[in-house]
A and B are shown apart, each in its own frame.
Chain A
Amino acid sequence: MTRTRTTAARRFRSDGPACFETRSLSRDFGEGPTRVRALRGVDLTIPAGEVIVLLGASGSGKSTLLNILGGLDRATDGDFKFRGRDMTQISETELTRFRRDHVGFVFQFYNLMPSLTAQENVELVTEIATHPMPARDALGLVDLTDRADHFPSEMSGGEQQRVAIARAIAKRPEVMLCDEPTGALDSATGVRVLQALKRVNRELGSTVLLITHNAGVAAMADRVITLADGQVREERVNDDPIDPEALTW
């Protein structure tokens, strides 16, 4: 599976609408006096094939937005489209299919199945995906071929996180949603994880949405979106993203 960046990116970019389009997306938690307004009208257009970094203070609504886009949570108000298709009205079953076929998740906590080996954790997803890549290839993309038969309890945090990325990319997702994927890792390990994500973006053409508290990471993004108080405060296009290898923190 080798695709050059341009062809892959062109594939997603050229053949249709934006990856995500949100319109006054809101999300309230609770009711009455205890109500928390996590998102208050988010309007965003996220083009396909880009690496997007989401920044913002703690509590600004980043995770909430990502969860809604990934079909884990539903908006209270407003709507959003995935590749032109309205996502706010669809059924629970269709949401499950959406996650299965189009979305790869990576979280701060790796969330591997402790009872499955690295390769099996990846196969867990390839077994249900429509056009998966071989699990070995996915592990190859994150440089973990040699750890394929290890259980999570036998791997370091960074290795576990790379297995999680391999698991996310094995289905060739159109979008990768990553909530603080480097939050629990040291800087050197974090860089390897980011490199893996970048590689997926480059070689598969997946759109990568990345939440981070580390403003330095923004340098690798095609686009940087900053949230504050549940709203978009700033959206900036980065004309010259750098390779994650050059990042340190």
Chain B
Amino acid sequence: MSRGRRDMAAALPARLDRKMVRDLWAIRLQALAIALVVAAGVAVHVVAAGMLDSLQETRDAYYDRYRFADVWAPVVRAPDSAAETLRDIPGIASVQTRVREAALFNMPGLSAPATGVMLSLPEAGLAAVNRIHLTAGRRPATGERDAIVLLDSFARAHTLSIGDTVTATVRGGREQFRVVGTALSPEYVYAIAPGQLVPDPRLFGVAWMGRDALEQAADATGAFTEIAFTLQPGASEPAILDALDRQLAPWGAPGAYGRDDHFSDAFVSSEINQLDTMASLLPPVFLIVAAFLVNVVLTRLIAMERAQIGLLKAFGYSSRAVITHYAKFALVIGFVGLALGLGGGVWLGRLMAAMYIEYYHFPFLLFDLPASIYASSVIVTLTAVGGGAVLAGLRTARLSPAEAMRPSQPPDYSRALGATLARWRRFDQQSRMILRHVLRWPARAAFTLAGITVSGALLVSSMYFLDAMDAMIDAHFNLANRQDVSVTLVEPRSRAALHEIARLPGVLAAEPVRHAPARLRFGGHEERIALTGSPQDATLSRLIDSDGLPVMPPPGGLVLSRDIATPLGLRPGNWVEVEITEGHRPVLYLPVSNVVTTLIGSGAVIDINDLNALMGESDMITGAVLRIDPDRADALYTALKEAPGVAEVGLQNEARRRFQEIMDEVIGASIFIYTVFAGLIAVGVVYNSVRIAFSEREHELAVLRVLGFSRGEVAYVLLGEIALLTLLALPLGAALGAGLSWYFSQAMSSDLFRLPFIIDPSTFGYSALVVVVVALSSGLMVRARLNRLDMVAALKTGD
């Protein structure tokens, strides 16, 4: 003991507290290992709960302050007067009409066209619904023709500032705009271009301009193309959607929708749900492990200090005083863990908030820990470790002073579970010592086993996400959507347009697509969907069944993805009512020929000829999917940017690249963090188990050395047990990890995507490797002590 520490302990008034500090110092590494497990649990809690809280608060405040719409109702074109009567629908709070028009931005430095939208701002005053948050500059002045406010992320991605000009194609007309401001919008917290899976700020732009100017650009003078509403609290959204659809039908309304179907909000909500799952699932695992560790370590300490405890009691210390004494150990460990966990959690939370703000564009996102999370961390942690300590301490209460001071008998192995089993002649004596030790203290061995199993399972389940993402990418890009580029036209055109597109430079293959908004009704339920008409022999964009084979509906039939079919209760063979909310709005009955699971997005596919026929039109298309020659991509992009009829260009090739990039960045970082945390559990459990086994068996091991066993042979007796338990834990961890992964695949799937339950063998391998390395290094730390074993000292006592 160094002098400094002795002085520190000596500064405490109560002698019992000095003992506590010195005892704690003696087991400092074990205590630290436990504190780190506590810290990991607290940190996960702080990050997940804190992030959840911050995101929710920020979202709610942002939506509220900027009057984020509850309901959107697009129309083809409607006169302003049409909006007047809508105000009277019960439950509607405010109404804002506007013009929305697709735009293709031609950005210098980006050969591909950036898809986006132009949205109108009221000529005077602020919008009643969906206000923007200016980050620089100003709004367009009344009557200002060419002034736009640009989406902040888009402007930054292209290093545009106030005064710069932007060229965009709107309804075939190429125009130049002047950037007068940049802004964020609650409608574009998560801004993503068509065909993209993750945000690529370069590829998606939003421009706000004066109403009059946009009306002209979009051929909608005196009209609007979309209305947004906020609802009164308690209003019934379905009823309002119905009313809107009825009243707006004459204006070619494809169907009103609520926040559930709003792309940005759906993403934000799904993120919040995932945080919620994480916040409730993981911290308890860490805290339970910590409580067990405290219990096991203190139980051992108490066993070693039996005589001292007896003495204390003989002096007149009460049982309660003794229990309190041991509870203080746990409190010190708990507080150290709390401090590390809170500090680390806040630090990680800030990093995470900084990461979030890159993908979720809020005007502000502060990682802020409310007092309630501090309080719950402190209470839960201290209850867990304190509980573990008190349970251990209760043993001292049963210890009578006289009994405590008698030397302990050699532990009785004769009655151990399976003592006869371990007589099996095939083992050498050292292996028997290991086996009997495990069988003599089955609860302790079980705990060690459980700890290693849990840490292995956490590793498997965190890396499962990578496997699931890989499977998702593969299914989405390599099987279902093999096109490089998809083109959406401003309005439906005849099949001749397909040939024009196919003749563009660099196009290797082009397949037609006819999209139509529709509503499916079955068994009293209704779903709003986008119906896709595809050719029978589609090779690029199609639905894929569970065998990885493309599924096309037979003539007259419909193939649905499971996320559409399930809420309606639809099965293959059912006939479903389909109302197409475009054109003359036909209502028809179609058989569902197949239901398939899509991992990303949803799909409702019909033969394009059937769709054309049902809509009473000739061979119309609304777009095309293309396979292109990568070397001539630039030429194609240039042509698309100039093509008059093109509204949107989806870049699947870019989407894939970007998705991979984000996966590596974000998921890689979180996997690393989880690996560290799971590793902490393994270290905490293994190091403590070995360390306890060592102090319990120090004497035996010294005797083995005396008898002429080498250090390696003695280490085998000590570490063989942990090796055995680790080997047993590996398959258990794999199984539990698979179960946990399955749970995550269910809990984390949303309307937007479904995590497939696929675990790559390498995930098991890597997890096993981490567990083994951690167990090995914990073992080696104790092995170092083994090398310094003092044989002579060990022989002086009977133990």
Residues of A within 8 A of B (CB): 67, 70, 72-73, 93, 96-101, 103, 105, 107-109, 111-117, 120-121, 123-125, 127-129, 150-154, 167, 179, 184
Q: Is there an interface contact between A97 and B708, defined as CB atoms closer than 8 Å? A: yes
Give the segment of B168-176, B316-324, B408-416, B580-588 that binds chain A. Answer: B408-416
Given the complex, which residues of B lie within 8 Å of A72, measured CB to CB? 706, 791-792, 795
Question: Does B478 touch A at the CB level, under 8 Å?
Answer: no
Q: Is there an interface contact between A109 and B799, defined as CB atoms closer than 8 Å? A: yes
Interface residues of B in 423-469 (CB under 8 A from A): 423, 428-430, 432-433, 436-437, 440
Which of A97, A98, A112, A128 contacts B410, CB < 8 Å?
A112
Given the complex, which residues of B lie within 8 Å of A150, measured CB to CB? 414
Which of B409, B433, B711, B797 contacts A115, CB < 8 Å?
B433
**Cα distance, A179 to B707, chains bound together (Å):** 14
**13 interchain pairs (CB within 8 A)?**
A70-B706, A72-B792, A72-B795, A73-B791, A96-B709, A98-B708, A105-B707, A114-B410, A120-B432, A151-B410, A153-B409, A154-B412, A179-B795
Q: Which of A70, A96, A125 counts the most B-chain CB atoms under 10 A from its CB?
A: A96
B101 to A: closest C-beta gap in Å: 82
Given the complex, which residues of A lie within 8 Å of B791, measured CB to CB? 72-73
Residues of B within 8 A of A (CB): 409-414, 419, 423, 428-430, 432-433, 436-437, 440, 699-700, 703-711, 713, 791-792, 795, 797-799
Given the complex, which residues of B lie within 8 Å of A115, measured CB to CB? 411, 413, 432-433, 436-437, 440
**Cα distance, A127 to B799, chains bound together (Å):** 26
Q: Is there an interface contact between A96 and B710, defined as CB atoms closer than 8 Å? A: yes
Given the complex, which residues of A lie within 8 Å of B795, measured CB to CB? 72, 107, 109, 111, 179
A70 to B: closest C-beta gap in Å: 8
Chain B, residue nearest A95 (CB): B708
Given the complex, which residues of B lie within 8 Å of A70, measured CB to CB? 706
Given A127-B428, A153-B411, A154-B414, A101–B708 Cβ distance below 8 Å? yes
Which of A96, A108, A109 contacts B708, CB < 8 Å?
A96
Q: Is the interface of B mostly helix, strand, loop or mixed?
A: helix
Which of A97, A105, A114 contacts B413, CB < 8 Å?
A114
Given the complex, which residues of B lie within 8 Å of A129, measured CB to CB? 708
Q: Is there an interface contact between A96 and B705, defined as CB atoms closer than 8 Å? A: yes
Chain A, residue nearest B700 (CB): A113
A108 to B: closest C-beta gap in Å: 8
Given the complex, which residues of B lie within 8 Å of A120, measured CB to CB? 429, 432
Chain B, residue nearest A108 (CB): B798
Given the complex, which residues of B lie within 8 Å of A127, measured CB to CB? 428-429
Given the complex, which residues of B lie within 8 Å of A73, measured CB to CB? 791-792
Which of B429, B432, B437, B707 contacts A99, CB < 8 Å?
B707
B351 to A: closest C-beta gap in Å: 49
Given the complex, which residues of A lie within 8 Å of B410, measured CB to CB? 112, 114, 151-153
A132 to B: closest C-beta gap in Å: 12
The 4 tightest CB contacts between A and B, nearest first, are A100-B708, A109-B798, A153-B412, A99-B708
List 20 additional contacts besides A116-B413, A124-B704, A128-B708; criterion CB under 8 Å. Answer: A72-B795, A99-B707, A100-B707, A100-B708, A108-B798, A109-B798, A111-B703, A113-B429, A113-B704, A114-B410, A115-B411, A120-B432, A124-B429, A124-B430, A124-B707, A127-B428, A129-B708, A150-B414, A151-B410, A153-B414
Chain B, residue nearest A103 (CB): B708
Given the complex, which residues of A lie within 8 Å of B412, measured CB to CB? 114, 151, 153-154
**Cα distance, A73 to B433, chains bound together (Å):** 27
Which of A105, A117, A151, A184 contacts B706, CB < 8 Å?
A105
Q: Is there an interface contact between B429 and A123, defined as CB atoms closer than 8 Å? A: yes
Task: Give the number of residue pairs across the A-B interface with Cβ within 8 Å.
Answer: 94
**Cα distance, A129 to B423, chains bound together (Å):** 21
Q: Is there an interface contact between B707 and A151, defined as CB atoms closer than 8 Å? A: no
Which of A114, A116, A125, A154 contacts B432, CB < 8 Å?
A116
Chain B, residue nearest A149 (CB): B423
**Cα distance, A111 to B796, chains bound together (Å):** 10
Chain A, residue nearest B429 (CB): A124
**Cα distance, A167 to B797, chains bound together (Å):** 19
**Cα distance, A184 to B407, chains bound together (Å):** 14
Given the complex, which residues of B lie within 8 Å of A184, measured CB to CB? 798
Given the complex, which residues of B lie within 8 Å of A123, measured CB to CB? 429
A16 to B: closest C-beta gap in Å: 22
Given the complex, which residues of A lie within 8 Å of B798, measured CB to CB? 108-109, 184
Given the complex, which residues of A lie within 8 Å of B711, measured CB to CB? 96
Given A72-B792, A120-B429, A152-B410, A93–B710 Cβ distance below 8 Å? yes
Chain A, residue nearest B797 (CB): A109
Which of B419, B436, B707 contacts A125, CB < 8 Å?
B707
A124 to B: closest C-beta gap in Å: 4
B442 to A: closest C-beta gap in Å: 14
**Cα distance, A117 to B423, chains bound together (Å):** 9
**Cα distance, A105 to B708, chains bound together (Å):** 10
**Cα distance, A114 to B544, chains bound together (Å):** 65
Chain A, residue nearest B703 (CB): A111
A190 to B: closest C-beta gap in Å: 17
Given the complex, which residues of A lie within 8 Å of B411, measured CB to CB? 114-115, 153
**Cα distance, A113 to B428, chains bound together (Å):** 14
**Cα distance, A101 to B795, chains bound together (Å):** 20
**Cα distance, A108 to B795, chains bound together (Å):** 9
B701 to A: closest C-beta gap in Å: 10
Chain B, residue nearest A177 (CB): B706
**Cα distance, A127 to B410, chains bound together (Å):** 24
**Cα distance, A117 to B436, chains bound together (Å):** 11
Given the complex, which residues of A lie within 8 Å of B414, measured CB to CB? 150-151, 153-154
Chain B, residue nearest A100 (CB): B708
Chain B, residue nearest A98 (CB): B708
Which of A67, A100, A101, A113 contacts B433, CB < 8 Å?
A113
Chain B, residue nearest A72 (CB): B791
**Cα distance, A107 to B706, chains bound together (Å):** 11
Given the complex, which residues of B lie within 8 Å of A128, measured CB to CB? 708-709, 713
B695 to A: closest C-beta gap in Å: 15
**Cα distance, A179 to B798, chains bound together (Å):** 13
Q: Is there an interface contact between B709 and A100, defined as CB atoms closer than 8 Å? A: yes
**Cα distance, A151 to B797, chains bound together (Å):** 20
Chain B, residue nearest A70 (CB): B706
Q: Which of B440, B703, B707 counts the most A-chain CB atoms under 10 A from its CB?
A: B707
**Cα distance, A73 to B792, chains bound together (Å):** 7
**Cα distance, A179 to B709, chains bound together (Å):** 20
Chain A, residue nearest B434 (CB): A115
Chain B, residue nearest A168 (CB): B707
